[in-house]
C-alpha cells in the first residue's frame, strides 16, 4: 500500500513544495512520480526515485529509499499546480498512492 | 511523435462486455510492453494489466479476477482490453500507456508508464 501525504498542500507561487510517499513494505528505489493537471492525462515526472523524465525541469527532484520517498518542487510555477501521484514498481501488483493535490495558497 | 489513442469506451450495462482499443504510432510498437491503467471519476490511478512486447506474458491486478484480457496486434500497432462481467465499480477512464523498458530478446519491463494516452471513459450502469 502506498500512502501519500498531505492530501492537499497549499503553496504560494515561488515557494517550495514537499510531497511525501510512504510504502507499507520496502520498494527499494523503484518509485515513480506523475503529475496530473485538471482534465489532463498523467505525465511521468520521475522514475527510479530521482531520475527526471525527458523534458522535466530541474526544479522537480525526488529522493528516498526503502519505504519513505519525497518529491520536492522548488520555486513553484503556476503550471505546477496539479495532483501528484507516486507509484511503486518493486512488487506486483503495481500500485499508486492516493495523490497529493498542490493548490495555490 | 509518440501517440496513443484509446477508443471503445461508452455506457454498458452491468454484466455485459466491452472491448477497448489503443492505437499507437511514433515508436516501434512490437518492441515494448504496454499497460492499461484506469481512473474512476474523481479518484486516483489504478493499474489494470501489462502485456509483453510479443504478447507472451500478461499480468493483471487482483481486482480483474479473470474478467479482463489484455492483448495486442503488432501488425496493426494496436493494444486491446477485453472486459467482461462488467460491474459499476469498473466505471473509469481507461488509459493505455507505454512501458519504456527494453532489452534485446527478452521481456524487461520498467513498470512505469510513459507516455499515456488520453483515455476512454467506460460507464457501467443500468
Q: Return per-residue pLDDT of chain B as tens, 126 residues.
A: 999 999 999 999 999 999 999 999 999 999 999 999 999 999 999 999 999 999 999 999 999 999 999 999 999 999 999 999 999 999 999 999 999 998 877 788 999 999 999 999 999 999
CB contact under 8 A, A93 and B115: no
Q: What is the largest CA-CA distance in chain B?
A: 47
- In chain A, what residues touch B50 (CB-CB under 8 Å)? 94
Upstream peptide bond of B115 is cis (omega within 30 degrees of 0): yes
> Which residue in A has a C-alpha nearest to residue B114's C-alpha?
A44
> Which residue in A has a C-alpha nearest to residue B96's C-alpha?
A41
Q: CB neighbours of A4 closer than 8 A, spacing ≥ 6?
A: A19, A20, A21, A22, A84, A85, A86, A97, A98, A99, A100
Establish how many alpha carbons lie within 13 A of residue B69's alpha carbon, considering only the half-sphere containing its beta carbon.
Answer: 10
Residue B64 phi, psi (nearest 5): -65, -40
Residue A84: the pLDDT is 98
Asked if A98 is an interface residue toward chain B (Cβ–Cβ < 8 A), one would say: yes
Cα separation, B90 vs B18, whole angstroms: 11
Give the rounded percent of residues in chain B with a pLDDT score beyond 90. Answer: 93
Residues of chain A with pLDDT below 50 are none
Residue B103: the pLDDT is 80
CA-nearest of B31, B20, B6 to B118 is: B6
Q: Is A19 exposed, middle or buried (0-12, 13-18, 19+ CB in 10 A)?
A: buried
Residue B4: the pLDDT is 98
- The partner residue sitting opposite B112, judged by closest CB among A32, A41, A97, is A32
Amino acid at each position: 500500500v502506498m500512502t501519500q501525504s498531505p492530501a492537499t498542500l497549499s503553496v504560494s507561487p515561488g515557494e517550495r513544495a514537499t510531497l511525501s510517499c510512504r510504502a507499507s513494505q520496502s520498494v527499494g528505489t523503484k518509485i515513480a512520480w506523475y503529475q496530473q493537471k485538471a482534465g489532463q492525462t498523467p505525465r511521468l515526472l520521475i522514475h527510479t526515485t530521482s531520475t527526471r523524465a525527458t523534458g522535466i525541469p530541474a526544479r522537480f527532484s525526488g529522493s528516498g529509499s526503502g519505504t519513505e520517498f519525497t518529491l520536492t518542487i522548488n520555486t513553484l510555477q503556476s503550471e505546477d499546480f496539479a495532483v501528484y501521484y507516486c507509484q511503486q514498481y518493486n512488487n506486483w501488483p503495481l500500485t499508486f498512492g492516493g495523490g497529493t493535490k498542490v493548490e495555490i495558497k | 511523435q509518440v501517440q496513443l489513442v484509446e477508443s471503445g469506451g461508452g455506457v454498458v450495462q452491468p454484466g455485459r462486455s466491452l472491448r477497448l482499443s489503443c492505437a499507437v504510432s511514433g515508436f516501434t510498437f512490437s518492441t515494448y510492453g504496454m499497460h492499461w491503467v484506469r481512473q474512476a471519476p474523481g479518484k486516483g490511478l489504478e493499474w489494470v494489466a501489462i502485456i509483453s512486447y510479443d504478447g507472451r506474458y500478461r499480468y493483471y491486478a487482483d481486482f480483474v479476477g479473470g474478467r479482463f484480457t489484455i492483448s495486442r496486434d503488432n501488425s496493426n500497432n494496436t493494444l486491446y482490453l477485453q472486459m467482461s462481467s462488467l460491474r459499476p465499480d469498473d466505471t473509469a477512464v481507461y488509459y493505455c500507456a507505454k512501458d519504456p523498458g527494453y532489452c534485446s530478446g527478452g521481456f524487461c519491463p520498467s513498470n512505469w508508464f510513459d507516455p499515456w494516452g488520453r483515455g476512454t471513459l467506460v460507464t457501467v450502469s443500468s
